[in-house]
Chains A and B, each alone.
Chain A
Amino acid sequence: MADTLTIRTAGIVTVQDLGRVGRSRYGLPANGAADQHSARVANVLCGNDDRAPLLEITALDFACVPSGDILIAVTGAPADVTVEGVVRPQWEPVPVRAGETIRITGIHRGLRVYLAVLGSFEAEYLQGSCAPDTILGFGPPLRAGDTLALRTACPPIDHPFSRIPLFRLKAPVPPFPTSWTIDVTDGPDRAEFGDTGQRLFDAPFTVTPRSNHIGLRLQGTVPRRVTRGEVLSRGVPIGAVEVPAGDELLVLHRGRGVTAGYPVLAVVTATGLSALGQVRPGQTIHFRHRTLPQAITAHRAQRQAIDALRTRVRTAFEALRIRAPAEA
């Protein structure tokens, strides 16, 4: 029988991956890990495919216990990570023996922590992804007592000298500030806001509690549309900054409906979206204007850092005789 991972303390935790690709045309949003960078790094640190299922732990304390020996990686927001009471690092692979309790508590500065397991675990799929879709009612949060079937057995991790693997893989860790700078480029409809479009950059915005993976609602001095008239529904990108009504700014995130009828003032960059996936209600955001080449360069640098990490992980795993599941 396959080994399992049993959830002991659930908090808010879901099975995630990088999201549903190629289904926007059927009206289905991408969804997937709100902080794509941290999720990707967690899987890479376990030698997994970037798209393997992992856990997204939001804000609240979490604990789980494996029935067999496993290797995990915990990324995302700063937190206290312990294995059987011993403090273990984030952003590095961590071996866990059968029956030891993994605890993630005190999530702070950011909102979401990612936990990947070498070999990953079985997950239910809808339209090519295990990412929850709250509108469809797919992928409910996990509860205490739930078990996940681990996909591959992980033999005890053997170190040639000490038997205690010490990883120094230098994963690319993004900043987790108390006040966030979020990069945006001009949206296709910026002209519809006239001079008020500049308000996006003039003063900070505060994230309200009515924010989730579908979108974040921000309070501040909002730009105003200077044109009127009906807009036919059309596809809007993840990251679209809109001013639907009232005194709130709406920033669409990965669970956004694929069509909308509001003008798009700005679009959060790919790297900015991962950061935005970590902003907590009550924290402030400063938007920073970027050109497309600046935004693309930042995204490519972040991906190249992950590619380089993947190579270091492979080398380390070979030295420790850990069979990387992605190549199994």
Chain B
Amino acid sequence: MSSDFTIADCGDSALVAKAVGLDAEPAWRLVHALADALNAVRLTGVHDVVPTYDALLVEFDCAATDHDTVRRVLAHEAARLGPHPAPTTPPRRFVVPVVYGGEYGPDLPEVAAQLGVTEGEIIALHSGSDLTVRCLGAPAGAPMTDGPPFPKPVPRLASPRTKVAPGSVAVAGRQAVICPMPSPGGWPLLGRTPVRVLDLHSDPITAYRPGDTFRFVPIEPQQWDEYADLALGDLANSVVGHG
């Protein structure tokens, strides 16, 4: 077995492979390449793969296969890939307008206080660099990116919200996300984008893929309506003027 990751049982119908001893970038590359490789071999009984930042969940029907078989194929594919698999698709860049603070990002003051910086500095850091999409996750295919270069990790809310507005831009730990649909959530909210994140009539329903990048651009609340008819897919490789 490759020494770059460990495999653990995750109940009777799943395994989780985790990259170890690798930096964030090669760890992420490895688990996504492994997910692609596992999909390509179409192993009987395996129905879902969930590659994230440094881990890969493999879900299967244990009436049709077993842990040992899936483990063996994972190890074989990892050995075949080698430690530094190349990316398979060219990344795209999405420029995403965000109204920060106020009712749009009610946790902005609290996050600034926790990190010991000003609200303006939080906004500058969040919108100051391209953030890479690492995986699609909860809720509803949310784009999960690297966190902005904050001085330290952002704690989750002590009491999660029962409903987070769609388009909310949130951070936690060393991660950031856009919440595509109204849903419960425990991540502090910095702002909100007026653009529609998902398109239920396309397949997949998300325009972005792991490896793509997001650049958040601050806009004023009165600019909300200018972007309200747009979908995230319309913003690929686009330019948004500063407000």
List residues of A whose CB falls within 8 A of some B CB.
21-30, 126-127, 133, 135-138, 185-188, 230-240, 244-245, 256-261, 264, 267-270, 292, 295-296, 299-300, 303
B174-214: CB near A (< 8 Å → 1, else 0) gives: 11000001110010000000000010100111100000000
A24 vs B141: C-alpha distance when bound (angstroms): 9
- Give the residue of A22, A27, A269 whose beta carbon is less than 8 angstroms from that of B137: A27
Evaluate whether A26 and B53 lie within 8 angstroms (CB atoms) in the complex, with A137-B181, A185-B12 already known: no
Closest to B12 in A: A295
A244 vs B10: C-alpha distance when bound (angstroms): 18
Among A230, A299, A303, the most chain B Cβ lie within 10 Å of the Cβ of A230
25 A–B pairs (Cβ distance < 8 Å), ordered by A:
A22-B47, A22-B48, A23-B48, A23-B204, A25-B35, A25-B136, A28-B141, A127-B205, A135-B181, A135-B182, A136-B198, A230-B173, A233-B138, A233-B175, A234-B18, A234-B55, A235-B55, A235-B57, A236-B57, A245-B160, A257-B138, A258-B138, A261-B172, A267-B11, A295-B62
Least distance between B19 CB and chain A CB atoms (Å): 11
Question: Is B136 touching A27 in the complex (CB atoms < 8 A)?
Answer: yes
| Interfacial chain B residues near A28, Cβ < 8 Å | 140-141, 205
Closest to B50 in A: A235
- Judge whether B49 is part of the interface by a CB distance below 8 angstroms: yes
- Judge whether B135 is part of the interface by a CB distance below 8 angstroms: yes
B30-64: CB near A (< 8 Å → 1, else 0) gives: 00000100000000000111111111110100110
Evaluate whether A188 and B16 lie within 8 angstroms (CB atoms) in the complex, with A232-B54, A233-B137, A237-B11 already known: yes
Closest to A306 in B: B63
| Interfacial chain B residues near A187, Cβ < 8 Å | 10-11
| Interfacial chain A residues near B175, Cβ < 8 Å | 232-233
Closest to B48 in A: A24
Question: Is B12 touching A136 in the complex (CB atoms < 8 A)?
Answer: no
A235 vs B38: C-alpha distance when bound (angstroms): 16
Q: What secondary structure prevails in chain A residues at the interface with B?
A: loop
Evaluate whether A259 and B138 lie within 8 angstroms (CB atoms) in the complex, with A21-B48, A24-B49, A235-B16 already known: yes
A2 vs B135: C-alpha distance when bound (angstroms): 44
Evaluate whether A259 and B59 lie within 8 angstroms (CB atoms) in the complex, with A25-B35, A230-B153, A270-B13 already known: no
A258 vs B10: C-alpha distance when bound (angstroms): 14
| Interfacial chain A residues near B206, Cβ < 8 Å | 26-27
A7 vs B203: C-alpha distance when bound (angstroms): 32
Among B47, B63, B205, the most chain A Cβ lie within 10 Å of the Cβ of B63
Closest to B157 in A: A245
| Interfacial chain A residues near B9, Cβ < 8 Å | 185-186, 188, 292
Question: Is A237 touching B172 in the complex (CB atoms < 8 A)?
Answer: no
Among B10, B18, B67, B136, the most chain A Cβ lie within 10 Å of the Cβ of B10
Question: Is A135 touching B63 in the complex (CB atoms < 8 A)?
Answer: no
- Give the residue of A127, A188, A261, A296 whose beta carbon is less than 8 angstroms from that of B10: A188
Closest to A30 in B: B48
Closest to B186 in A: A244
| Interfacial chain B residues near A261, Cβ < 8 Å | 156, 172-173
Q: Which of B113-138 contact A (CB under 8 A)?
A: 135-138
A137 vs B196: C-alpha distance when bound (angstroms): 14
A22 vs B50: C-alpha distance when bound (angstroms): 10
Least distance between B155 CB and chain A CB atoms (Å): 9
The 8 A-B residue pairs whose C-beta atoms are closest, nearest first, are A257-B138, A267-B11, A235-B57, A235-B50, A259-B137, A27-B141, A27-B136, A295-B12
Closest to B7 in A: A188
- Judge whether B8 is part of the interface by a CB distance below 8 angstroms: yes
Question: Is B137 touching A237 in the complex (CB atoms < 8 A)?
Answer: no
Question: Is B12 touching A232 in the complex (CB atoms < 8 A)?
Answer: no
| Interfacial chain A residues near B8, Cβ < 8 Å | 188
Question: Is A267 touching B12 in the complex (CB atoms < 8 A)?
Answer: yes
| Interfacial chain B residues near A239, Cβ < 8 Å | 11, 13
Question: Is B135 touching A136 in the complex (CB atoms < 8 A)?
Answer: no
| Interfacial chain A residues near B205, Cβ < 8 Å | 26, 28, 127, 136
| Interfacial chain A residues near B55, Cβ < 8 Å | 232, 234-235
Least distance between B149 CB and chain A CB atoms (Å): 16
Among B11, B141, B142, B153, the most chain A Cβ lie within 10 Å of the Cβ of B11
- Judge whether B139 is part of the interface by a CB distance below 8 angstroms: yes
| Interfacial chain B residues near A185, Cβ < 8 Å | 9, 11-12
Least distance between A182 CB and chain B CB atoms (Å): 13
Q: Which of B10-31 contact A (CB under 8 A)?
A: 10-14, 16, 18
